[in-house]
Amino acid sequence: MTADAMLILADTNILFLIGLPAAAVLLIIFFAAFLASRYRRCPSNRVLVVYGKVGTNKAAKCLHGGGTFVWPLIQDYAYLSLEPLVIEIPLEGALSYNNIRVNVPATFTVGISTDPVLMNNAAERLLMLDERKIRDQAQDIILGQLRLVIATLSIEEINKDREKFMALINENVEQEINKIGLELINVNIRDITDESGYIEAIGKRAAAEAVNRAKVEVAQQEREGATGEAIAVREKMVNVARESASAAEGKKEAERRQRVTLAKLEAESVTGEVESKRDQEIAAAQRQAETVAARKQAEQEQRIRVADAESMAVSGENEANAKIAEANAKLAEIRAEAKRRAEVAAAKALEAVLIAEREQELARLGKEQLAPQEIEKKRIEIAAEAEAEKLRREARGNADAILARYIAEAEGIQKVLEAKAEGYRKLVAACAESPQVAPTLLMIEQLPTIVAEQVKAIQNLKIDKITVWDSGRNGNGHGGSTADFLSSLIGSLPAMHELAKQAGVELPSVLGKGREGTDRSMYADSHPSKNDGAGQA
């Protein structure tokens, strides 16, 4: 190896040794940059949702604040905004508890909750949805719950007890929107109106009641003022009249004394002046009497006017009390009707709940009990159908066997009858010269059967013994009484002789004769005279 080649090799080794730490540093820097690029921080106005493979039985991992590492390929991330959503609810025509439709326009402010459970609900139901779709879902839920709350309250409760109304709205709406991860921030009910004008009528009624109460109070105050004024005027007039009378009395007393003194001094010389003085006093007394009478007349008129004012005030008070009582009665009727409707609605609601529970119980029973019974019923039906089909096939086979047997028997009977017919034809052909012989032969052929049927008629007769009086010979010397008795016993069966007679056949004499010729002889044979010999069998 030359010196140049050795120098080149040494330079290469030095560069390799220098390149190893640089590559490690670059690798570390790249790894740190990669880790930094996969680390995600969550701002305060958002919720970080990491989805993918995040753990057992979890669809997503939600964070509010802080940060977390997002693994590539197996995980990804998204953000949910915590900014409030203002939702306008133009509710119109909602049916209240007393069946009056009301309009309740309201504004609801909602937002995604930071509660761990509610954040998971929002991640499952609202992730990747835009603001409009989230607002539409919340609006539908709020409308339904607002109608439900209004249906449980009467107009008076909605209009007066706003605190209860708002509490029910908060409770029902928040409970439902929590299911999709939202929470209720604020509720603003702008105005409550109704289509029938009931709320306006309630306001007018309240205003009228307030005006009536004010009028009654004004009338009462005016009555008290007029009464006090009349009392004060009356006392004033009485005091004035009393003082005037006292002054007049003192004046008259002084004048009387002066006149008496003057009269005594001038009695003798001034008689005419005394008479004029007397006329003057009479005129003054008359004028004083007229003044007193006028004063009394004024007092009387004043008392009458005061009494009229008091009576008018009392009348107005009574009318006001009557209107108040009438208004209270109408209010009591309205409250009673509202209470009745409330009870009816509660009963209907309870009925609906019971019906739903009954349906649920029926469904549960159908699943737990009726389903196995239905399966057992089907199994029994299938087994019964199989058994029935088996029995049908066995019956069909038995019927086929019986039919085959009957067909064979019928064919045998047919052949027998054909053979008999052929024999009868031959018999009739053989008896061509004596036609009456053929029926006789046929009757003789059936004679055992006829005798058997005749014997059935007397076979159940119980005869302990038979006594026959027999002299050995009968009157005509043919046979004995015992033989005649047997022949008469056979002859007592008229059906065989009648049948033979109708067929034109004469039976042998040993079988007896018909009833027409043998009744008397049979009676004589069965009742012999006492002179004849006797025998017992």
For 423-452, the pLDDT digits (tens) are: 777 777 777 666 666 666 666 677 677 777
What mean pLDDT, rounded, does the chain reach?
Answer: 76
Please give the model's pTM, rounded to 2 decimal places.
0.37
> What is the Cα 16 distance to its own chain's centre?
91
- Reduce the DSSP state of residue 80 to 3 states and report it: strand
Distances (CA, A) of 268 to 252, 264, 276, 279, 280: 24, 8, 15, 19, 20
- Reduce the DSSP state of residue 108 to 3 states and report it: strand
Burial class (CB in 10 A: 0-12, 13-18, 19+), 54: middle
For the cut 60, the answer to whether the pLDDT of residue 420 exceeds it is yes
Confidence tier at 501 by pLDDT (50, 70, 90): low
Are 181 and 125 in contact, with CB atoms under 8 Å apart?
Answer: yes
**β-strand pairing of 46-52 with 60-63:** antiparallel
Contacts of 63 (CB under 8 A, 6+ apart): 42, 47, 48, 50
For the cut 50, the answer to whether the pLDDT of residue 188 exceeds it is yes
Q: pLDDT by residue (tens digit) across 10-38?
A: 555 554 555 567 777 777 777 677 666 77
Are 254 and 337 in contact, with CB atoms under 8 Å apart?
Answer: no
Tell which residue, 120, 107, 101, 153, has the closest CA to residue 48.
120
Structure tokens at 15: 């560069």
Are 97 and 152 in contact, with CB atoms under 8 Å apart?
Answer: yes
Residue 285 to residue 251: CA distance in whole angstroms: 12
**Is the model more confident about 455 or about 177?**
177
Contacts of 464 (CB under 8 A, 6+ apart): none
Confidence tier at 509 by pLDDT (50, 70, 90): low
Q: pLDDT by residue (tens digit) across 97-156?
A: 888 888 889 999 999 988 888 888 888 888 888 889 999 999 999 999 999 998 888 888
Distances (CA, A) of 509 to 483, 487, 505, 512, 514: 11, 8, 12, 5, 10
Name all contacts of 329-333 with Cβ < 8 Å and 24+ positions apart: none
Q: pLDDT by residue (tens digit) across 395-412?
A: 888 888 888 888 988 888
